[in-house]
Amino acid sequence: MSDFQMPEPGQMGVTVSDGIGTIRVYSDSATTIEVCILNPENPRETIETIDLVRGAHGIWSASSSHLVPGTKYGLRATGPEGPRHRFNSSLLLIDPYAKGVIRESAREFHCVVVDGDFDWQGVAKPNIPLDELVIYEAHARGLTRGNSALPDELRGTYAALGHPSTIEHLKNIGVNAVELLPIQMFISEPRLMNMGLINYWGYNSINFFTPHHRYATAAAIKAGPEAILVELKTAIRELHRNGIEVLLDVVYNHTAEGGGGGLTHSYRGLDNSNYYRQDEKGWYHDTTGCGNSLDFSNPHVVHMVLESLRYWTTELQVDGYRFDLATTLARDENNHYDPNHPLLRSIVEDPILAEAKMIVEPWDVGLGGWQTGNFPERFSEWNDRYRDSVRRFWLGDIAAARNSGSHWNGVSDLATRLSGSRDIFDSPTGTVGAVNFITAHDGFCLRDLVSYDVKHNQSNGESNRDGTNGNHSFNHGHEGIGATEQIVAQRHKAARNLMATLLFSYGIPMITAGDERLKTQNGNNNAYCQDNVMTWVNWNPSRSERDFEKTFSYLTQLRRENPVLRPRNYSSFDDATSEHDLLKWYNAAGEIMSTDDWHNTECRTISRYSLHIAANGEKNSMLLVIHGVEKTTEVTLPAADGVTGYEMLWNSAHDVPRASTQTYLPGDTVNLSGTSMQLFRASFA
């Protein structure tokens, strides 16, 4: 790649200047490429064909006065035969850099030149510091589809994302970044369509520049791609106006064209041998589990992704990205992961992307695919170790104790996750190198995590074979609905413990939309093809669900108001035995944890004392007490340096947060009912 000079930003695809449009397309294998200008009234009719001329590095170009905003067009390409090629001159192809695409039928698309003009009204990006971020992972349609307070024509649309009722809810629960599941244009797999299902999640991209049309209002879809862009930009502007960032889950690792025998809509028809990673016989090297992997040893593929990121960052004012199966994006010519890969390095160095937040899913399904903790400092990473450790402590271990009388784990691993997973992310990036989560779109939602021992995915049409079996979940004595009030109460407390652990852990917290109201998917842990009430956020919660929402809102408020709960750097708590530490761990007797305590699997009660000293000398100190055993116990509040008293702020044993005026002295004892947490604010003389 070192001798390849990438085109200037914004030069690929169609650019318009002084009424003349120029199109640039990449193919190193094609022998001819032509752009077909389509009849605006009948896009199946070509009114002009323009031959592109090949230039350096496989970039083809042509200019025409017809390539102006509103023009509908497509590409045709011819080339050699052979096992690595899939040229078919009868197919009208999508321009990989098209900013507008319309789907005419199941197998027919055409591109549209867009202007992109929009009035941002002076609203700037919020630029929220990473340590203050609370991410809300949501589906662009599912977030609002069930909101009956919205006009029916807006429910489930881009317009609804920026609607006051949506924004009010997000602000009330204290999240400040919405991470949208894929909204770059995607299509459903034929297999799903044949079963009457769709790819709901959207991890099946067919174009990396065009917003998915189905999430626009019917009026915008009818008006065309320009109107869809305006609707989406308006939603982003209004979220920004209210201090809420927009992050996109982006799927650059593969495309919807699938594996051998798959569809041909764009990249495959332009240059199958160079867009996709294959061997000489044309067999795809699939590290994504989706049939193909884009070839990131090809500098043109790297450039295409960079251009996509630049476009969404500038033209749509997107604040950041979560890269699906990101290991694939950094595989070199030998298909090995390279932390210094040109794509990663270019993202780090690109001034256009300098302020954008970059989050990776640090694995894929290929050899050497699990790379958590191995991405460059610029990237925060999904912390799957956090998810599994916290689930095991609060759920798997409790189930084990009921079955065998003993727990599998003590508190050592949980303490490591609570303090920022330094064993994985020890770098100058600090604690914000970790994106912590209990649940995500993939897997059990929070309510199901505490209500089901096994997955129930029969409605997906795969005989319950799909979805992970390693859930670390616990139904608390009854599978699914119909549990006794006692079991339901246990489940809700477990959910409060899980959510509080997440929001009181160092690192960036991410919650899944609907978990703030304890939505259920009826035990489905792979609802990728379910576009119905199963996956939509519940906008008519019951009293107990509203109580949980109050708890969640209070927990985010505590995190927001107390910087001690979200330190950015590890350096402030290097040595847990130092007299000058800002982080200390105590056992149930109020004594510093000993080596024996850390290694004792039956030691499951621990207190984390932490102190933040602001630049003006103001102290912010908290004591978090965790009890991971079902029987009630007494905990002695520690005599931490200079602490004169403790005020209880929160107790997970309560259904809703309760104001407390009671204060405690160091050395006093408090009762913790089984599997619970308490948070205290420390005071000083």
Reported confidence tier of residue 6, pLDDT bands at 50, 70, 90: confident
Residue 179 tokens, joined: 């991470």
pLDDT of the residue at 577: 39
Report helix angle 267-275 to 299-314, nearest 10.
130
Q: SS3 for 304?
A: helix
Cα separation, 538 vs 125, in Å, equals: 29
3-state class (DSSP) for residue 96: coil
Catalytic residue among 179, 226, 271, 324: 324
Mean pLDDT on 66-78:
97
Catalytic pick from 245, 361, 364, 516?
361
Q: What is the pLDDT of residues 79-120, one digit of tens each?
A: 999 999 999 999 999 999 999 999 988 789 999 999 999 999
**Residue (of 65, 13, 78, 79) closest to 37 by Cα position:** 65
In tens, the pLDDT along 573-596 reads: 444 433 445 899 999 999 999 999
pLDDT beyond 90 at 142: yes
Strands 357-360 and 320-323 come out as: parallel
pLDDT score at 3: 58
Question: Contact, 243 vs 176, CB < 8 A?
Answer: yes
Round to whole Å and give the CA distance between 166 and 548. Answer: 18
Closest to 144 measured CA to CA, from 172, 164, 173, 171: 164
Instruction: Kindly report the pTM of this predicted structure.
Output: 0.96
CA 276 to centroid of chain Cα atoms: 25
Under a CB-based contact definition with an 8 Å cutoff, are residues 311 and 347 in contact?
no
What's the pLDDT score for residue 571?
A: 57
| pLDDT higher than threshold 90 for residue 641 | no
- pLDDT-based confidence at 150, cuts 50/70/90? very high
pLDDT band for position 357 (cuts 50, 70, 90): very high
| Residue 222 vs residues 67, 155, 198, 213: alpha-carbon distances, Å | 21, 17, 22, 10
Q: Check residue 407 and give its pLDDT.
A: 85
pLDDT of residue 293: 98
- How far apart CA 148 and CA 304 sit, in angstroms, is 40
pLDDT in tens, 182-213: 999 999 999 999 999 999 999 999 999 999 99
**Coil, helix or strand at residue 628:** coil
203's enclosing H/E stretch is none
Task: Please give the pLDDT value at position 661.
Answer: 75
Q: Is the pLDDT of residue 5 over 80?
A: no
Lowest mean pLDDT of 38-52, 309-323, 450-464, name the range.
38-52
Nearest to 69 by CA among 9, 118, 119, 117: 117
DSSP string, 346-361: HHHH-GGGTTSEEEE-
Separation between Cα atoms, residue 73 and residue 71, nearest integer Å: 6
β-partners of residue 613 are: 619
Overall average pLDDT of the 435-461 stretch: 98
> Could you tell me the pLDDT band of residue 249, with boundaries at 50, 70 and 90?
very high
Is 602 tagged catalytic? no
Q: Are 300 and 346 in contact (CB under 8 A)?
A: no
Whole-angstrom Cα distance, residue 427 to residue 248? 25
361 is catalytic: yes
Backbone angles phi, psi at 294, to 5 degrees: -65, 150
Q: Given the DSSP bridges, would you call strands 508-512 and 434-437 parallel, antiparallel or unpaired?
A: parallel
What is the average pLDDT score of the chain? Answer: 95
- CA–CA distance, 177 with 357 (Å, rounded to integer): 11
Residues 6+ apart with CB under 8 A from 608: 415, 418, 419, 583, 584, 585, 623, 624, 626
Predicted confidence at residue 614, as pLDDT, reads 87
- pLDDT tens track for 167-186: 999 999 999 999 999 999 99
Instruction: Report whether pLDDT(685) > 90.
Output: no
